[in-house]
């Protein structure tokens, strides 16, 4: 703030003349607070009974309040964005899962020939909806020479095929054990 502006500001705040304001500011090296105190000592300004003189602090406080309000709004928006981002990630996961469940097929084979092939989504829906029918049929099929495997371009497919092969081998071992027991009796 220029010296002229300080003189005008002091005149507005205290009600003294331009000459008095300029004189006291020159004496106090243009320090507004010291100038007001000096004018009070000279009796040219009545000391306030309550409150205080400010040199723009109220404007600063208003700016601080605006800043705090903006900061709270920003934090609230960030939290909303985090929630939105979380939902977006969950939706993307389910979209990927759905797409993969249509790309990977569950194959039913007998004597090395493919009998049927359905997307894993269909298998999952059948297991979820008709668990007590689907799972026993799959297990019983193993004992009648039916084998299962998965096709699709994914590491999970190879791992699941190993599990299916082990299940088929176990069913074959159990059948062979029963045959041995029947032959011995």
Is the whole model's pTM more than 0.85, yes or no?
no
Tens of pLDDT along 80-137? 667 777 788 888 998 988 888 888 898 999 888 999 999 989 999 999 999 999 899 9
Concatenated DSSP letters of 98-166? HHHHHHSEEEEEETTEEEEEEEHHHHHHHHHHSHHHHHHHHHHHHHTTEEEEEESSSHHHHHHHHHHHH
130 and 171 share a domain? yes
95 and 109 share a domain? no
Domain span holding position 18: 3-41
Tens of pLDDT along 156-179? 666 777 777 888 888 888 888 878
What pLDDT sits at residue 132? 92
What pLDDT sits at residue 163? 79
> Which residues on neighbouring strands pair with residue 106, listed in sequence order?
118, 150
Number of domains in the chain: 3
7 and 37 share a domain? yes
Tens of pLDDT along 11-60? 888 888 888 888 988 998 988 888 888 888 888 876 555 555 555 556 66
What pLDDT sits at residue 183? 77
What pLDDT sits at residue 58? 60
Listed residue (36, 71, 41) closest to 53, CA to CA: 36
153 and 176 share a domain? yes
Residue 50 lies in a domain: no
């Amino acid at each position: 703030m220029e010296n002229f502006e300080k003189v005008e500001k002091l005149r507005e705040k205290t009600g003294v003349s331009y000459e008095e304001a300029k004189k006291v500011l020159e004496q106090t090296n243009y320090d507004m607070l010291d100038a007001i105190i000096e004018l009070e000592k000279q009796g040219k300004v009545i000391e306030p009974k309550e409150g205080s003189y400010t040199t723009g602090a109220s404007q600063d406080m208003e700016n601080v309040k605006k800043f705090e309000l903006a900061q709270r709004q920003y934090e609230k928006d960030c939290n909303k964005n985090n929630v939105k981002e979380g939902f977006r990630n969950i939706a993307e996961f389910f979209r990927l899962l759905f797409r993969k469940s249509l790309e990977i097929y569950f194959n039913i084979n007998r004597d090395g020939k493919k009998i049927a092939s359905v997307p894993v989504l269909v298998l999952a829906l059948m297991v979820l909806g008709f668990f007590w029918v689907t799972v026993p049929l799959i297990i019983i099929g193993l004992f009648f020479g039916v084998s299962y495997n998965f096709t699709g371009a994914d590491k999970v497919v190879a791992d699941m095929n190993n599990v299916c092969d082990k299940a088929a081998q176990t069913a074959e071992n159990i059948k062979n054990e029963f045959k041995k027991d029947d032959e011995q009796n």
